[in-house]
Amino acid sequence: MIKGSEARRALRQDLSQRFAYDECGRLEYIGETLPRYQDRTSNPVWRIRKIAYVEGSGCPEDMLGISWANSSTEFNFSWEERETYDY
């Protein structure tokens, strides 16, 4: 987990990002962490957002909103576990 002064520094600098796409090829998850942790996808050093789309037949492109994992902007989530969190 990134916390304390390290978390405050993270908010003031460039972050590394990872992206995951759904079966339609739409961007679904965005993860951010400090550059030195970018390869630690199983460690709880990420903050993660999920993009929700309008439901319908096929793959509608209309975005509904963006939510944080477990409603938290903290850097305490695992990128590999992104689908298990509440959004």
Q: What residues contact residue 44 under an 8 Å CB cut-off, 6+ apart?
A: 1, 75, 76, 77, 78
pLDDT digits (tens, 9 = 90+) for 4-60: 666 666 566 689 999 999 999 999 999 999 999 999 999 999 999 999 999 887 888
Can you give the pLDDT at residue 12?
A: 61
Mean pLDDT for the stretch of residues 80-84:
98
